[in-house]
Structure 1
Amino acid sequence: MNTTTAPTITPLIVPASLDASDAAEFLAFGELNRRICDEQVGLPDLAPDAAQMLPDWQDQTDSLDLGFVARIDAEIVGMITLSLALEAEAHAAEIDMLVAEENWGRGIEEALLARAEAEARARGRSVLQLWSLHRPEESERMLVPRTGWGRIPATPLSDLVEAAGFTLEQVERNSEYDLRDDSAPLRSALAEATAFAGAEYRVVAWDMPTPPERREGFAAVLARLSTDAPSGDMDFAEESWDADRVVRREARLLGAGQAVSVVAVEHVPTGELVAYNELLIAADRTGVTHQFGTLVRKDHRGHRLGMIVKSANLLRWRELMPQSTVVSTFNAEENRPMLNINEAVGFIPVSYAGAWQKKL
C-alpha cells in the first residue's frame, strides 16, 4: 500500500552481542540485507547475516560504518548504511540501500538517500558510491558503464540513483563455481600454470589467522588491492596496511565463526608475496563459499600467477570444506585476464553489479 507518510529515520543501534536486549535492529538489518539480495537477484547468500557483520561494526579502527533505520508507524520499512575508509586521503562514502520491494515507491528510498548524502557531507566526504544488483537478463533499457565493458538491465534502484545524479562507472560480473565438478581440469590448469611460471615463484598457503612471520608480507599485497585492481574511475583511496591491521581484519572475520583459506605466491628471489586468493565460508560450513580478495601485483603479471592462486585454493578448499557446494566471486567486466581464468576453470555468470558514483 502506497502512502506519503514521511518515515522517521534514526541511527542503527549496534549491540554488544546478538543476544543483547538492544539487538533487534541489528538482527533486522541482517534479515533485510539477505532479503534484498533474494528479491533483486535470487541469491540471498550474497549478503552476510547479522552474525557475520557484527564484528566489523563493533571495530571501527580501519573503517567507519554508519547505519540509519527508517520507520513508519513504528514498523521498520528500510535502512541505509555508509562505510567510510579512514585514510587521510579518502574522499568517498560507500552506500548500501536496503528497501524491500513492498516498501519501494513510498518515498522511503529518497528519504534514506538524502540522509546518507547529508551524513557524508557532514563528515567531509565529496564522493558517494553505491552498488546495484542485477539479474543476467535483457530488458527494454540496458545500461552501459563509462568503462564500456558489460551492460545491466535498469532497475528501480538504478533509476533512483541515476535520477539523483549518480553515474554508472563500472559493471562487475558475479560468477559461481560448482565445487562438486570434476577436479581434473583444475589440477591440469594448476600444473600448466606452475610450469609456465617457473622456479622463481612458489605457492604458500595457510588458514587464517595468518602466521606472524607472514603478516607484513601479506599486508603489503593486501594494500595493492586498492590500487592494482581494475576499478574504472571509482574514487578509492590507497589503503595503508601493516601487520597490526592484518591481525585486526582477521579478528573481525574469524570472530563470526567464519573460516578463511589463503593461497599466495612468493617471488623466491625477493621473498615477497606477489599474488593471493582468499576463500571464506560462514559458520555454517554447508553454505556458499565467497571468494574475498584475489590479486596479482601489476609488476608480476604475465606469469599465470592468477591461475595458480585460484586453482590451488579451489583444490585446497575441496579438501577443507567438503560440504560447501559453490564458490561465488565478483570481477570487473574489463578484468578480462581474471575472467578468462574463471571461465577456464568453470565459473558461470549468475548476476551482475553496477558501480555508481556521484561527486558532491
Structure 2
Amino acid sequence: MQGLSITEVEIPDSVDADNAADFLACVEVRSTVWAHDSGSADEVRPADEMLPVWRKQEHEPKRMLLARLDGRPVARAITEYRAGDTSDTAWLHVEVVPEARGRGIGAELAARAEVLGREVGATKFIVYAPCWKVGGPRLAAPTGFGDVAADTAETRLLQRMGYRLEQVERGSRLPLPVAREVIDAMRADAERASEGEYRIHSWTGMTPVHWREDMAQLITRMSTDAPSAGLEEEEDVWTVERLIADETITAEGPSTEFTTVVEHVPSGRLAGFTTLIAPDDMSRPIDQDDTIVVREHRGHRLGMLLKVANIAYVQDARPGHPRIVTYNAEENRHMLSVNEALGFEPFVYEGAWRKDVVGEV
C-alpha cells in the first residue's frame, strides 16, 4: 500500500527515554482502538502502566510492530511467545485505528506478525479478538459455550487466514464498592462450605518469602488447570526466581497487586490464589488478574472465598476505584457463577482463534 510503512518497535527502559517515541505511539493506537470500539475509557492506559508488561521479556518475549500511513501511526501488531526450545505457540494481536480500517492494513500486519512467530519456530498461532457486535449471524464456539459475530471484518479476516474459533471468553465488570454486608454474608457462606480446613491470607505487592514456592507452583497450574478448549496451550513453568523478577518489575510501575491465597491447613500448602491489580489512578478500574483453585481442592467454594476476601481487602486498602474488570472462558461455569453472584455483568465477548502452521513454508 502506498504511504504505508511498518517498523519493529524498540522497547525503551522508560517512557522518557530517547527511543520511546514508537512505544508511546503504539500505546496511543491501543487506547484509540479500545475507546472507540468499547465506548469506554476503561482500557485507556498510560504508557508508564503498559511498559512493565513489555519489560518482562526473559520468559515471555514480545515483539511489536508499528504501522504508519503517510507518517501517521495507525496500527500495531504483537507477537508473543515463550522462551525455551520446546515452545511451539505464538500469540498474535493486531489493532487498527477506526479511520484507517478497510484498507488491508490489518491483514498486512497480521501476516507480518505471523512471520515473527515463524522466526522463533512457532507451529501454532493463537489470536484473542474482541467481538463488540451484538445480534446478527453468530459463529458458535465448539465448546458449546458462547459465540461471536460471524460477519465482522475481524471474523472474515481470521477465517480467510486459516484460523478456526476454539473458545469464547466473557469480559465482565463489577461496580464498586460492593456493600460490606453482602461481602460478609458471602464470605461466611463460603467459609461454612470449606469445613474449617482452609485459611485465608492476603498481602500487597511482593509475595512473602515463605509462600513463594507455593505461588510459583500455583501460577504454573494456571496454564494446565484453566479451561483452554481446543487451544491446547502449553505448560508455562514458573520458578521462584521468575516470580521474584516478575513482581519486581510490576512493583516499579504505577500499579499495586493485591493478592489473597487460601491455605489448606492440614498440609500447610496453598490450594489457590487470586490477584487484583489496582492502578495508582483512582479514577480507573481494577484488573482481575489470575484466579485459580487447583483441581484437587475444588468443591469447597474456595473460588468464592478467595474472590470475596480479596475484594474486601482491596476496598479497605484502596477505596474509590469505580469497578473491577475480569475475563473468563465461557465454559468455566463455576467461576462465572461466582462472578455473577458477586454482581459482575458482561460487557464484551472475545473469540480465541487457533491456526496450525506445521509444514507451511
Both proteins in one fold, TM over 0.5: yes
* Contact 1:258–1:280 (CA under 8 A) maintained in structure 2: yes
Of 156, 162, 171, 2:159 maps to 162
Secondary structure of the equivalent of 1:171? strand
Equivalent in the alignment of 1:340: 337
1:271 matches 2:268: yes
Of 25, 28, 36, 1:28 maps to 25
1:193 matches 2:190: yes
Q: CA deviation at 1:267?
A: 0.7
Q: Deviations over 1:132-188 (max 9, x none)?
A: 1123721x2212112120112243222211211111111111111111242322211
Equivalent in the alignment of 2:67: 70
1:179 matches 2:172: no
* Partner Cα distance (1:262, 1:226) in 2: 19
**In angstroms, what is the RMSD of aligned CA positions?**
1.5
* Contact 1:36–1:44 (CA under 8 A) maintained in structure 2: no
Mapping of residues 115-264 of structure 1, within 5 Å: 115-135=112-132, 137-138=134-135, 140-154=136-150, 155-264=152-261
* Contact 2:79–2:114 (CA under 8 A) maintained in structure 1: no
* Contact 2:277–2:287 (CA under 8 A) maintained in structure 1: yes
* Residue type of the alignment partner of 2:159: E
Of 332, 348, 357, 2:354 maps to 357
* Residue type of the alignment partner of 1:312: A
Aligned residues, how many? 356
* Partner Cα distance (1:71, 1:211) in 2: 45
Flag the 1:358–1:49 CA change in 2: closer, same or farther, 3 A: farther
Mapping of residues 274-293 of structure 1, within 5 Å: 274-293=271-290
Most deviating of 39-48 and 104-113: 39-48
* Partner Cα distance (1:346, 1:64) in 2: 36
* Partner Cα distance (1:349, 1:355) in 2: 17
Equivalent in the alignment of 1:7: 4
Q: Deviations over 1:77-134 (max 9, x none)?
A: 2110111111443211111101112111112111111111111112100011111112
* Residue type of the alignment partner of 2:253: A
Equivalent in the alignment of 1:320: 317
* Partner Cα distance (2:232, 2:45) in 1: 25
Most deviating of 140-149 and 179-188: 179-188
* Partner Cα distance (2:255, 2:310) in 1: 17
Q: CA deviation at 1:48?
A: 4.4
Secondary structure of the equivalent of 1:168? strand
* Partner Cα distance (1:231, 1:279) in 2: 22
* Partner Cα distance (1:129, 1:48) in 2: 24
* Contact 2:187–2:308 (CA under 8 A) maintained in structure 1: yes
Secondary structure of the equivalent of 2:173? strand
List runs of 5+ in structure 1 lacking aligned partners: none
> Which aligned segments of 4 or more residues in structure 1 are displaced greater than 3 angstroms?
46-49
* Partner Cα distance (1:194, 1:136) in 2: 40
Equivalent in the alignment of 1:81: 78
* Contact 1:87–1:237 (CA under 8 A) maintained in structure 2: no
* Contact 2:220–2:236 (CA under 8 A) maintained in structure 1: yes
Secondary structure of the equivalent of 1:266? strand
Secondary structure of the equivalent of 2:249? helix
TM-score in terms of structure 1 length: 0.95
Flag the 1:222–1:11 CA change in 2: closer, same or farther, 3 A: same
Flag the 1:231–1:46 CA change in 2: closer, same or farther, 3 A: farther
Q: CA deviation at 1:224?
A: 0.5
Q: CA deviation at 1:47?
A: 5.9
TM-score in terms of structure 2 length: 0.95
Q: Deviations over 1:292-328 (max 9, x none)?
A: 0001101111010000000111111111110102000
* Contact 1:222–1:241 (CA under 8 A) maintained in structure 2: yes
Most deviating of 11-20 and 220-229: 11-20
Q: CA deviation at 1:208?
A: 1.2
